[in-house]
Structure 1
């Protein structure tokens, strides 16, 4: 039985080091393969080597008239084709020669599946910053195919879905071009369209992804990712719930209370400032305990990066809500694992348990000290 796969590769750079091996992947028998390169950079001039492979029969190249961001760029690519399957690849992954054969064989072996989540390997971390990224959990979705038999969404760095399962679902244009959340939104909507069926994990379909920024610290990415993720509750309210304020939210509420107290009850300003300092100390303690449990080294620099990454991400989420005047969204969280559960304030983990223990102790101490 003949099948067809459209490979969609959005790119700002069209780096031939990564793109050419994708275009030269071995093609499985009886499968029609087409590649859709979409350059999200109007001023980009493709290298002669890439341009020589564009034939408008199997390899197509489109250049966006303006920078649109990765989500809308993927839309432009997948809407150009009509293949039975759509394979999403990032423009900076290293692919094995048999990647298409693995996906094609899986599609034949599991005809009832709506899609497959491939595995994305990152190199071993060599710096405190990349060790912090690994331990902190923000990259867990890359390895989800090795951890679970199926999941609610996957990284577009390496994932294939059935076009008929997708229907008219597209990547949203509401999330900022800086990214974060658009793939969660897209895959959850496709999943919802298919009676909430998870995507099958396919660890044998593995690619290699290099570290960003040569493993140097970069806090813009987690901030922008948080800002993008702040849209998820608006776009998918059935997965949203409320929880106790996190550290940036708590400090913001305290700062607002501080302004009021300066006007009506100045004697309470000092206790509130002490409480805010305690909040920061509790955040440090809870993050360290959780990081050690996840296998972090007892390194001050690594711990500092883990804590900073968490705070920067959470501040990005908070800023995304405040910048849209969604003040009532403070405290809103999102089940990105596809769980629909409106039981609020119930989720616990090591990080939260430590905070639940220390917050009452902090309040009792301050009451005893100031009263």
Structure 2
């Protein structure tokens, strides 16, 4: 396929086709001397496009595709990639609000770094609006969205606001092995591109969009379970970046359950049950300390942090076990794709280990 210089394909997969968000993206101010083509891929055959979207499609201002069935986020993006021919591809989510100068900032980055494999824009969130959104912030679940504020280069970024060089991507595409609604595919593809080209994506914090809080900031966990599923699917694809860790609460509870006969030699069933129940309690305590350091001192924040973490870890655990990859139990992946030590720890893991040892000693000798 021929590619056109000074050309950008803007690819927006959409399930809602909400004109409130899409029309401002389509009408963003554009730098002179550049060609922009929009590819809006609707992954919901039940959606009826609004009058304005149909008009823009009929006039050729956008390319509008409606999937005959739900193909998922990865295949919808691939459809946009394959339909276009631009030298650069900008992926945007269908519910973000972009700064008016975002296309200018990307063009400036391209003109300064023509050989770059791509760029990671800044995806901001509004200020936390509830205990749950404060938990998301304290748990670090929004960190990758704002990676452009802290790094000059990185191996991957969220597809809510990220640009790829078509020449660097070549035949690589988003993989459909990941959850349909997203989770892992936006790590897998850019990491493969980086490894192939021996380069990293350049962060452009000036290319800014704002992402709304998921579910209007109300508690929900399926998304983060899905992210865990995606993380588990990455493990065998990037074995050189994996390592073993202390058991997380899900793995720890399983180990306590499986070792029950051994524990009964030293503990009564009541004490064994206390040890089992202590796992989430200790995690909530540690999360409360972590959240307090960020200024979030509500116990509810620590509670939500623990549920979010368990949701993520349950998604990872059930996927690993469901695929029969038992050697990946207690295994993690370095998502910055640096080579890790064989076994990693941090102060929080050490604190928890000390608490568990003290608790076990107290239960045995009391």
In the TM superposition, what is the alpha-carbon distance from 1:345 to its structure 2 partner? 1.9
SS at 1:116 equivalent: strand
Q: Is the 8 A contact 2:291 2:302 kept in 1?
A: yes
- Contact 1:178/1:225, CA 8 A, preserved across alignment: no
Two-structure CA RMSD over aligned residues (Å): 2.0
- Alpha-carbon distance in structure 2 between the residues aligned to 1:84 and 1:55: 24
1:152 paired to 2:152: no
Map of 1:208-247 to 2, 5 A cutoff? 208-247=210-249
How far residue 179 of structure 1 moved from its aligned partner, in angstroms, is 2.2
User: 2:298 is matched with which residue?
Assistant: 299
Q: Any idea what the Cα deviations from partners look like across 1:264-292, whole Å, max 9, x if unmatched?
A: 96966444333223333322222222222
Report the equivalent of 2:97.
Answer: 94
Report how far residue 96 of structure 1 moved: 2.3
Q: Paired residue for 2:324?
A: 325
3-state DSSP of counterpart to 2:98: coil
Give distance in 1, aligned partners of 2:141 and 2:121: 17
Structure 1 stretches lacking a partner, 5+ long? none
Deviates more, 1:166-175 or 1:324-333: 324-333
Distance change (3 Å), C-alpha of 1:132 and 1:19:
same
Q: CA deviation at 1:261?
A: 5.7
Output the CA distance in 2 between the equivalents of 1:27 and 1:93. 18
Q: Is 1:60 the equivalent of 2:82?
A: no
TM-score normalised to structure 1 length = 0.92
- 3-state SS in 1 of match to 2:292: helix
Q: 1:26, CA displacement in angstroms?
A: 1.9
Can you list the C-alpha shifts for 1:32-76, whole angstroms capped at 9, x where unaligned? 110100000112211011111114744101111210111111111
C-alpha distance in 2 between matches for 1:171 and 1:12: 18
What is the SS of the residue equivalent to 2:163? strand
Give the secondary-structure state (helix, strand or coil) at the position aligned to 1:142: helix
SS in 2 for 1:27: coil
Deviations 1:143-174 (A, max 9, x none): 11111111111010001011111111111111
Contact 2:155 2:191 in 1 (8 A): yes
TM-score of the pair, normalised by structure 2:
0.94
In the TM superposition, residue 298 of structure 1 has moved relative to its aligned partner by 1.4
The 1:86–1:286 alpha-carbon spacing in structure 2 relative to 1, beyond 3 Å, is same
Task: Work out whether residues 184 and 231 of structure 2, in 8 Å CA contact, stay in contact via their aligned partners in 1.
Answer: yes
SS in 1 for 2:259: helix
Give structure 2 stretches of 5+ with no counterpart: none
Whole-angstrom CA distance in 2 between matches of 1:296 and 1:337 = 27
Q: Quote the residue 1:50 is aligned against.
A: 53
Query: What is the CA-CA distance between 1:323 and the residue it aligns to?
Result: 2.0
Contact 1:261 1:269 in 2 (8 A): no
| C-alpha distance in 2 between matches for 1:145 and 1:111 | 19
Deviation track 1:242-271 (CA, whole Å, cap 9, x = no partner) reads: 11211110101222233x569x96966444
4+ residue segments displaced more than 3 Å? 55-58, 264-272
2:354 to 342, 352, 357: 357
Of 354, 363, 367, the residue aligned with 2:364 is 367
Match of 1:251 in 2: 253
Is residue 135–residue 296 contact of structure 1 (8 Å, CA) maintained in 2? no
- Change over 3 Å in CA distance of 1:256–1:178 after alignment to 2: farther
Structure 1 counterpart of 2:191:
188
User: CA offset at residue 351 of structure 1?
Assistant: 2.0
Q: Distance in 1 between matches of 2:249 and 2:267?
A: 24
- Once the two structures are TM-superposed, the CA of residue 240 in structure 1 deviates from its matched residue by 1.4
C-alpha distance in 1 between matches for 2:271 and 2:250: 19
Deviations 1:304-338 (A, max 9, x none): 11121112211121112122222221101011111
Q: Deviations over 1:74-96 (max 9, x none)?
A: 11111111111010000001122
1:286 — aligned with what? Answer: 286
Q: Distance in 1 between matches of 2:5 and 2:145?
A: 31
CA–CA distance in 2 between the matches of 1:267 and 1:303?
30
Give the stretch that moved more between structures: 129-138 or 282-291.
282-291
Instruction: Tell me the equivalent position of 2:168.
Output: 165
